[in-house]
Amino acid sequence: MFLLRQPTAPVINRFLQSQARLDFTYLEVGATATNSPEKFVVDHTRIRLGSGEELFRSAKRAVEGWRQFDLGWLHAYPADTPIRAGEVVAVVARTGGVWSVNAARIVYVLDEPRRFGFAYGTLPGHVERGEERFLVERLEDDSVWYDIKAFSQPMHILTKLGYPLVRRLQKRFGRESAAAMQRAANELRENR
């Protein structure tokens, strides 16, 4: 959904309610857990956050709080959406004076001693078609990493027409989400 004004909470809530029972817009549901499907553009961003169990726990809390979306020009709504398969969330973005509200549903959750994350997939009210996974993991060497893996295709006519801009925004999201996670994980660790 595109808007010329910032969407209000009631507008986003009605939008999410209208999307909640709809099917995913792609057949390869869950594919971010394995190999990305053909015919999709794949993006992968990975950044070392630091090391240690305490940082891993802080990074996990940051993902649970959707802090990887605290970018100023983009945020998740509602920010307290539980990280649970089946939950529906809106990604609200402002680009060039135009607001977009995009619906996604959590496909799966990873909650293991050394890995935590989730993937969401697009619903009909999203300008793209595909899936994105957000993961924090603590490796055997004690390093903690944040990893985004996504596959997508344009779905809305405006994203098809403006695909070069869309690709720049996808790359920007990867970079800025990684930086947001670095800040959030360290902030949560320090304020513990």
Q: Which domain holds residue 25?
A: 2-190
Is residue 129 a contact partner of residue 29, using CB atoms and an 8 Å limit? no
Total domains, the chain: 1
pTM of the shown model: 0.94
Give the pLDDT score at 19.
97
Residue 19, both tokens: 């999307």
pLDDT tens digits for range 20-42:
999 999 999 999 999 889 899 99
pLDDT in tens, 156-168: 898 889 888 889 9
Instruction: Please report, for the domain that includes residue 126, its CATH number.
Output: 3.30.530.20
- pLDDT at residue 158, as a whole number: 85
As a whole number of angstroms, the distance between CA 185 and CA 168 comes to 26
Q: What is the pLDDT of residue 36?
A: 84
How confident is the chain (192 residues) per 10-residue block, as mean pLDDT?
A: 93 97 97 91 96 96 97 96 98 93 98 98 96 98 98 91 90 96 89 75
Looking at residue 156, its pLDDT comes to 87
- DSSP code per residue over the chain: -EESSPPPHHHHHHHHHHHTTSPPSSS-TTGGGSPPPTTSEEEEEEEEEEESHHHHHHHHHHHHTTGGG--SSEEEESTT--S-TT-EEEEEEEETTEEEEEEEEEEEEEE-SSEEEEEEEE-TTSSEEEEEEEEEEE-TTSEEEEEEEEEEEE-SHHHHHTHHHHHHHHHHHHHHHHHHHHHHHHHHHHT-
CA separation for the pair 26, 29 (Å, rounded): 7
CA torsion sign for 65, 70, 76, 79 is: positive
What's the pLDDT at 35?
A: 86
Phi/psi for 56 (5° steps) reads: -60, -45
